[in-house]
A and B are shown apart, each in its own frame.
Chain A
């Protein structure tokens, strides 16, 4: 398989790179100065693309790789892959579901606790020596707060299960009601937002869910509400979110994702009712290794004509 060209579109994980190099002819796209020339030269040997949440396989790239057979994403999200184009051309697509569910759900709860109990702010308070001058102020209790989840897939369910242990009543919105689920269903996001204290975005990013968190939803969540985003930056109308936070029309937010990563609106940096993370939802040693193994497993299966482990298309 060493002659099979695999194009990795951006740096994501050294272990994955090493493992790919052992098995395939790995091209590191980000090290190539003249990308069009490179593609022209190598297009006929590239049979696989490995992407992630930052960069995947859009129509343009797919068109330029006539021998492309499979796109293996180092992510569960598929928003950076032109799935329709892949279907059209019979290109397989795999992702990394399940192995990262726990980490992302853990982070959602971690964000809720950090925002409501102002953990990062009070950690800064201690390290700056301010505690000597007086106690930190009172924060907000987490247990028992109503948690509303957008998207009750693997990650949404894992968030719900954890929040239940804190006696949080759970409600949700998704495209269709899930009759076997005991949580309260709301047929609209605004209604969900109006009826919960903490709103969590845990759905996939599609044309329908782009800016699903808009002004109306933010207003419904209100000055005591908290938004937690472990989905994708474009799920949220970011300028609206920023002004709501700056003007205190929204109580707080825990954000792992942004519209233009790695750029984060600087107006947020001075606010104390936020926790801002650099897209680390699945960023643990354990989980990234499991994700890498799954990417490798899928590619090996494909080129050995075996069933794919986690196919999407």
Chain B
């Protein structure tokens, strides 16, 4: 397999690159950014696999330029950066990294909710700046018992629900269809979900249907005492609407791990103390990154040895 050319689309994790390098002929797309045409002339027909992630995946243009591409292995569970139709058309396999990152992302959703409602980061800053000497901090908002509405009750949504239940949060959800094996309250309409919960969590996949699923109507329904937690994709939310709602006090607060234009979140949010902003770190722990990388490697090895893929999407 050492002759098999694998293209990695952007820097993602040193351990992953090292492991790929020991097994394949690894080509780093960003090493060739100044000479793209030359690069494609030299390598395009030998590349059999692409490793992408949430930033750079495999769009139609890239897929079209690689005539011998057999497999796209994503270092993510989200598939929104991969042209799945084109892959299906060409018979190109696609794998992702489900399950191994579910806990981390669910943990972050709860961590963001607690941090926003209890003003953890604001308080930490209050102490470090010496302000506690001048007087006590004000009061925050209780988390236990708050109703949590989850958009998308897949692996991650269910894991969030399980955690929130331990805090006695009543759980409700919206998804394309009602799920048969749960006791949680179902809303077929996301606006109704938002109107009936205090903390709305986005945990669904990004598709054409879910683009801007959190829009002005949903934000208004969530309201000045409501909180939005987004650990999914920036494009799930109409970001300008979110920003103005927060600036105008029409939304109570937000915990955001993802933004429409990463790595540049809207700067108008930086002065607000009812938001927590983290840099797309949902699965970025040492443990999980390694598990994700191992899964990418295993999928590629399985493919090139003619064995069944571990986590195929297509």
Contacts and interface: CB of A to CB of B under 8 A. Distances in A.
B281 interface: yes
A139 B286 CA distance: 6
Contact of B281 (A136, A166, A279, A287): A136
Interface string B263-302: 1110000100000111111001111110000000000000
6 contacts: A110-B143, A117-B111, A117-B281, A120-B120, A278-B126, A278-B132
B279 A136 contact: yes
Given A102-B142, A139-B286, A280-B123, A113 B114 contact: yes
Interface in A101-117: 102-103, 105-107, 109-111, 113-114, 117
Nearest to A125: B279
A123 B121 CA distance: 8
Nearest to B276: A123
A278 B127 contact: yes
A1 interface: no
A263 to B, nearest CB: 7
Contact of B114 (A109, A161, A166, A167): A109
B119 to A, nearest CB: 8
B121 A120 contact: yes
A139 B127 contact: no
B83 interface: no
Interface in A231-279: 261-264, 269, 275-279
Contacts, number: 172
Given A136-B284, A276-B127, A278-B132, A286 B142 contact: yes
Interface stretch (A72-80, A83-91, A126-134, A305-313): A126-134
Contact of B137 (A123, A125, A283): A283
A8 to B, nearest CB: 15
Contacts of A140: 285-287
A138 B142 contact: no
Contact of A138 (B107, B126, B140, B289): B289
B128 interface: yes
Interface string B121-142: 1011111100011001111111
Interface of A: 102-103, 105-107, 109-111, 113-114, 117, 119-120, 122-127, 131-132, 135-136, 138-144, 161-162, 164-167, 261-264, 269, 275-280, 283-288
Contacts of A275: 120, 124
B110 interface: yes
B279 A113 contact: no
B144 A119 contact: no
B114 A106 contact: yes
Contact of A165 (B126, B139, B163): B163
A142 B107 contact: yes
B108 interface: yes
